[in-house]
Structure 1
């Protein structure tokens, strides 16, 4: 094929617009039930979790207060009973 064969294609059409800048602004952090989480919410653990690097086990039903959202919509930062600066996956959390 020559360059002339491609002259009929419109590469500037909306189908080739790969601008993903708007996608990062609309990311919503959700818990395991699909409820939207916001900064300062309280959540409950849905299962026992072993905290890496410590001997602490967080039990199912533990209440975590005042969470902070991160850039990743699947993770939140928080403080637990004995552990500070903890990052938890949202799939293990339920909004309280």
Structure 2
């Protein structure tokens, strides 16, 4: 059931033309306005890419992506509404982080 839901949300994010907020690993966090007046930010924290969204709709799907120094890309689990998500690079530092904001989930 979880895999089906995750696959469905991934397809929804990809097909909706998601809004992405990049953040370089050695720069300050990047803030983007979220849908309907909220905000989201993404920043590196050691081996984690961290994403935070606040003030967005409770049914709004989003995820944080991280590109590791090793070249591997990882993605957090999907979140709905306000919250924090992390993408784990294991023992490799994070080179780049971003937030993908998707559609409202029915």
TM-score, normalised by the number of residues in structure 1: 0.26
* Structure with the larger RCO, 1 or 2 (CA within 8 Å, 6+ apart): 2
Greater strand share, structure number: 2
TM-score by length of 2: 0.24
Structure number with greater Rg is: 1
